[in-house]
Amino acid sequence: MNAYTTHFKVCTFNLFNYLLPPNAFYESENIYTQPKWEKKERWIGEQLSSLAPDIIGFQEVFSPQALEKLTRQHDLPHFVTVSEPGIESHHVYDKPVVALASRFPVISANAVDVDSSIIDALKLQPDFKFSRPPIRAEIQIEGFGSVLVYVAHLKSKRSRLEPQLTGDEDAFSSISESVSAQVHGSWASTIQRGTEATLIYQDIIAQMRLRERPVMVLGDLNDTMESPVLQSLVGGQNIDRLDGKYVSGMAIGDQRAIQRFSLFDAFELQDRIKPAQRKATHYFANRGSVLDYILLSKDFKADYDRSLACVSDYRVNDAHLINPHHETDAECSDHAPVTVEVEIRY
């Protein structure tokens, strides 16, 4: 019997500027030397060996061909991307892509489209685009069936408007303009991130209407799940009232229907680690936060009366963030990969 018929592992992994030299990321001087690139490749390879994922979503990929070659060396023969890295000029890349690798066959893979009806309803510019087009892939898992897997990297909190202090004006005027631009730009990024989350959820709903299948979302969401910006991604999970009725007072059948259109943080679906012990996946100014998530449909929720599987393990590989060693971690990621083990029910 194949081991995958009882368990499989899924992972999300932000690689942090994965770009084969002599190309540069964002600025012309940001080029890995060959020794540094080899260290980065070796570090990622060691992570893949340790994680041993069956399905993995990647973010910050500038060199998908190099990554495909690396993942094939770690028993992940199926690899897909749905967009091309963006080039600002010559050898300087400014727009990474997301990627998906799998031990299981990938039946189809497409970019998530921008639903114009949502853009109209939100009164946004009609030319709205994802900052990094998400992947929607259908994967056939042996012993389990077809699963929809989304790989996402939502817009960061970095301000979209960042003018530099010129020194040509008085300090008060220059600083006031920069502060104003920072505030406005941060809000623009929030709108972008929230709209991207809403569009992904809308795509999930549309796919479920076509044919209901278990769903996974693997991603660097650049926000905490408690943020109102990401609440649209979990759908009906946090809805108290629907059509004027309290959900808690609805018939079990109606409550079950709401859960069909909900996603759940994989961490909340396991009981081994207490909430207070949850590890951060990213640190900024020595402050940790959880930005990397695996979201799962009700099919993986143990107390759902028709669940197909449950989360048996949740793991954050954060040693390189909390206790880095220069020799091995000099070219590591600034994020910790998150892995979830799923146990299939029979």
Strands 215-220 and 241-242: unpaired
The answer to whether the beta carbons of residues 66 and 22 sit under 8 Å apart is: no
Cα separation, 161 vs 313, in Å, equals 41
Note whether 151 and 295 are within 8 A (CB).
no
Whether 312 contacts 342, CB under 8 Å: yes
**Per-residue pLDDT reduced to its tens digit, 46-93:** 999 999 999 999 999 999 999 999 999 999 999 999 999 999 988 999
Backbone angle region of 61, left / alpha / beta, with phi > 0 → left and psi within -120 to 50 → alpha: beta
List the 78-80 sheet strands across, edge first: 78-80, 97-102, 55-61, 7-18, 338-344, 309-316
Predicted TM-score (pTM) of the model is 0.92
Q: What is the mean pLDDT of each run of 10 residues along the chain (346 residues)?
A: 73 98 96 97 98 98 98 98 94 97 98 94 92 97 95 82 56 63 74 94 93 96 92 75 73 74 94 95 94 96 90 97 94 98 92
Q: Which domains does the chain have, with CATH numbers?
A: 3-344 (3.60.10.10)
- DSSP reduced 3-state for 174: helix
- Alpha carbons within 13 A on the beta-carbon side of 6: 3
Residues in Cβ contact with 311 at an 8 Å cutoff, skipping those fewer than 6 apart:
266, 269, 270, 296, 300, 302, 340, 341, 342, 343
Antiparallel, parallel or unpaired: β 292-297 and 55-61:
unpaired
* CA quadruple 31, 36, 42, 43: dihedral, nearest 10: -80
